[in-house]
């Protein structure tokens, strides 16, 4: 498994490093540009998410048709161009344009779909947890290196670093990443797939959860550096001292999440814990006048964020059918980037006109409603897969599975010469399935 996913993890980590490294200082840097105000700074921080939101679905659909590798390459090239525009921007509007173009390289869902293609569902949670851990480490490095590099060489250097990271990612993609398996199935893709995915109650809950989680993230990145500099008189190059302890605790939280959510089969409870921590973190940050307590709020926020991170992509991929995976994950990520964009835009407006106390109150109310949504989420613990070698089943009898209660889907992995049957163990057992084929 590690040989398969580590090159893809490196590509994902390099891309996220390019996005994360500017986040700790982008809001205070953008405020100093010609024509800037808090609202436009919010657009700058969340701008890349707007184009990500709009293009995740097209990129996901494109990857289902022309292949994952070529789609990822196209996205990385667009990302490089956007990074270079950001590096050489001299006013807020040029920076916003570059951020929008950075986001147009919307390959997040495609990369996750590629991991899902190549890893069996039973160990996919481990793969996603490893990916989440890699992102968390990347995140921690970004929180330290971003303020230090920008403090000494300027934020334009950070954007050049992001471009270089994307170039390295393309090299790794073709030098180290295996081609995904050839999958055949009995389903016919159509325009109705989007409607079916949006109507699926489990995917809907995951989409809303991803939207709110990512919205909280950009809201935090907008407010934390501005508050630390304006209210507590930190300098930009010292912001890493705020983020580093938060990320250390966050990495431990990710381990807790992987164990409780996947091994102990309690993903719903873990998601609820994260939501409570989000509400608590903004309450602490919103109503304290002490730098020490504010940093405690930052730590609580990143613990909550990292409690969620290993589970979201894994759960979304479990609920998506094989022929819709790229599309379903594209929609899932579009909701996330909608949250990223609106979180930054709304946060910039509220921070300017109402202050962080009002933000804390709205976040608290949102978290209460969010908990109500997650309480009713179904646990995918009963979903299982049956792997049958070619030659051990009757081709003529396979179509009978389409109308059998408990059979979620079936498809063939042509590379490994296996038939995969996904089923609900509450409704049908393995021996019953084998008797049918």
pLDDT in tens, 108-152: 778 877 877 777 665 665 676 677 667 767 876 887 788 888 878
Start and end residues for every CATH 1.20.1250.20 domain found in the chain:
2-375
pLDDT for 182 beyond 70: no
Name the CATH architecture for the domain at 2-375. Up-down Bundle (1.20)
Average pLDDT over residues 59-84: 89
d(CA 422, CA 419): 10
**β-strand pairing of 418-424 with 383-389:** antiparallel
pLDDT for 56 beyond 60: yes
pLDDT for 185 beyond 70: no
Question: Which pLDDT score, from 0 to 100, does residue 5 have?
Answer: 76
Question: Which pLDDT score, from 0 to 100, does residue 179 have?
Answer: 75
Report the alpha-carbon angle 294-298-303, nearest 5: 145
What Å distances lie between residue 248 and 14, 58, 245, 251, 425, CA to CA? 20, 36, 5, 5, 39
42-51, 357-366, 404-413: range with lowest mean pLDDT: 42-51
Higher local confidence (pLDDT), 331 or 184 = 331
pLDDT for 186 beyond 70: no
Per residue in 386-422, pLDDT (tens digit) is 999 998 888 888 888 888 898 888 888 887 788 988 8
d(CA 292, CA 134): 29
Question: Which pLDDT score, from 0 to 100, does residue 136 have?
Answer: 66
Average pLDDT over residues 92-97: 92
**What is the pLDDT of the chain when averaged over all its residues?**
84
Question: Which pLDDT score, from 0 to 100, does residue 343 have?
Answer: 86
Q: What is the pTM of this model?
A: 0.74
Per residue in 255-300, pLDDT (tens digit) is 788 788 777 878 889 999 999 999 999 999 999 999 999 999 999 9
Q: Are 422 and 383 in contact (CB under 8 A)?
A: yes
pLDDT for 336 beyond 90: no
pLDDT for 189 beyond 60: no
In the chain, % of residues over pLDDT 70 = 93
pLDDT for 218 beyond 70: yes
d(CA 105, CA 100): 9
Mapped onto helix, strand or coil, the DSSP state of residue 420 is strand
What Å distances lie between residue 302 and 38, 213, 307, 308, CA to CA? 24, 11, 8, 10
């Amino acid at each position: 498994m590690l040989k398969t996913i580590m090159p893809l993890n490196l590509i994902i980590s390099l891309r996220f490093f390019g996005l994360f490294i500017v986040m700790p200082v982008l809001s205070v840097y953008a405020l100093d540009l010609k024509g800037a105000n808090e609202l436009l700074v919010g657009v700058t921080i969340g701008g890349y998410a707007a184009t990500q939101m709009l293009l995740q679905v097209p990129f996901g659909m494109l990857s289902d048709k022309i292949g994952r590798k070529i789609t990822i390459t196209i996205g990385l090239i667009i990302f490089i161009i956007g990074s270079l525009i950001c590096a050489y921007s001299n006013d807020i509007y040029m920076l916003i344009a570059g951020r929008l173009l950075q986001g147009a390289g919307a390959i997040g869902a495609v990369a996750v779909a590629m991991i899902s293609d190549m890893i069996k569902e039973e160990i996919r949670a481990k793969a996603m947890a490893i990916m989440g851990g890699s992102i968390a480490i990347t995140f921690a490095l970004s929180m330290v290196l971003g303020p230090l590099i920008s403090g000494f060489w300027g934020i334009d250097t950070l954007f050049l670093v992001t471009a270089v990271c994307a170039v390295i990612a393309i090299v790794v993609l073709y030098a180290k990443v295996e081609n995904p398996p050839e999958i055949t199935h009995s389903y016919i893709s159509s325009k109705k797939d989007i409607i079916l995915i949006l109507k699926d109650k489990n995917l809907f809950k995951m989409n809303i959860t991803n939207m709110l989680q990512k919205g909280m993230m950009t809201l935090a990145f907008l407010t934390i550096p501005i508050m630390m500099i304006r209210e507590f008189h930190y300098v930009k190059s010292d912001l890493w001292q705020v983020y580093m302890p938060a990320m250390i605790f966050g990495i431990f939280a990710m381990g807790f999440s992987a164990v409780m959510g996947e091994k102990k089969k309690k993903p719903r409870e873990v998601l609820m814990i994260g939501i409570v921590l989000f509400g608590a973190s903004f309450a602490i940050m919103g109503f304290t006048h002490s730098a020490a307590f504010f940093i405690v709020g930052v730590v609580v926020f990143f613990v909550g964020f990292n409690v969620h991170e290993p589970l979201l992509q894994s759960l979304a991929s479990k609920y998506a059918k094989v022929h819709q995976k790229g599309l379903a994950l594209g929609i899932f990520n579009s909701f996330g980037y909608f949250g990223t964009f609106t979180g930054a835009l709304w946060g910039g407006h509220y921070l300017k006109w109402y202050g962080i106390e009002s933000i804390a109150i709205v976040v608290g109310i949102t978290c209460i409603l969010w908990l109500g949504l997650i309480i009713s989420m179904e646990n995918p613990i009963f979903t299982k897969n049956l792997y049958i070698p070619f030659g051990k089943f009757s081709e003529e009898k396979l179509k009978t599975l389409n109308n059998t209660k408990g059979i979620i889907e079936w498809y063939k992995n042509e590379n490994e010469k296996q038939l995969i049957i996904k089923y609900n163990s509450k409704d049908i057992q393995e021996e019953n399935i084998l008797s049918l084929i």
